[in-house]
Structures are given as C-alpha cells and as structure tokens.
Amino acid sequence: MEALALSHSFVAYESPESELQVKSLDELGLKIPNSAWVGVAGLAVALSVLGVGGEAQAASCYSRCAKKSHHAHHTYAKVVTNGGRLNIRKHPDSCSHVIGKLHYGSHVKLTGRYKNGWAQVKGGGWVSASWLS
C-alpha cells in the first residue's frame, strides 16, 4: 500500500513541462567507429543463431508440406529435424496443442493417414510429414 501511495505522489507532483529529449549520437558529439559496428553485427548474428529454438517448427515449412506426403506406404518413419525435437500435436494443425515430442533420429510408427502435410502417429497425435523420412 505504501508503494502505491509513493508512486501516486510521484505522478501527482510531476512537472508537466518535463519531456524526454532524445538526441542523436551526432548531437552528443559521439562517433562510433566502423570497426565497432562490425562487432555489433557479429554479436547480432551470434545471438540470432543461439536464439533459434530447439524445437522443430512445423509451421515454418507449411508451404512445403501442403500436399500429401510420399510416405503413405511406410509403417515406420525416422524423425529428421534440424536437431531439435519434433512436436506431436493433437490435430493436424500447427496451432493445435502439443501432446508429445519426438527426438531427432527416433523411429515412429505411423497409421498411414495423412492430412495436409501431416502424418498421424500410431497411438494418437499428428506430426509434420516434412520432418519424416
């Protein structure tokens, strides 16, 4: 309650004239050398690589798997992801709830049912057929 009263007092007695002044680096007289920008770009690339999720994202390849898969005659398939785990979803849709995961390289038994690029897993659930071989 005291924190609420304190924040109220700050807002109530704040000067209406005070506005945030944003200045460019040139206005402040600062110059960033080109070598520093190269370092920043390298750091950005490194963070983007490290920031890639460990899960296979079936939604990102939806346009590739919009047709029926050529795996319809197989009973088993091997999970071939980008190294991450493949989501097993409740329905053949990338927005459906994840009900399990398959590790890279594992073999999964399929029912033989396919729908819009998704393969049904024996025992329930659907996986993106584009991550199966």
The residue type at 81? T
| Mean predicted confidence (pLDDT) in 70-90 | 80
- Report field, pTM of the whole predicted structure over 0.75: no
pLDDT at 40 over 60: yes
**In which band, very low, low, confident or very high, does the pLDDT at 126 lie, cut at 50, 70 and 90?**
very high
Taking all residues of the chain, what is their mean pLDDT, rounded to a whole number?
74
| Overall fold of domain 55-131 | SH3 type barrels. (2.30.30)
CA–CA distance from 72 to each of 112, 117, 129 (Å)? 5, 11, 10
Of the listed ranges 16-30, 60-74, 81-95, the least confidently predicted one is 60-74
Question: Domains of the chain: which residue ranges?
Answer: 55-131
pLDDT in tens, 81-105: 888 899 999 999 999 999 999 999 9
Residue with more model confidence, 85 or 49:
85
* CA pair distance 54, 82, nearest whole angstrom: 8
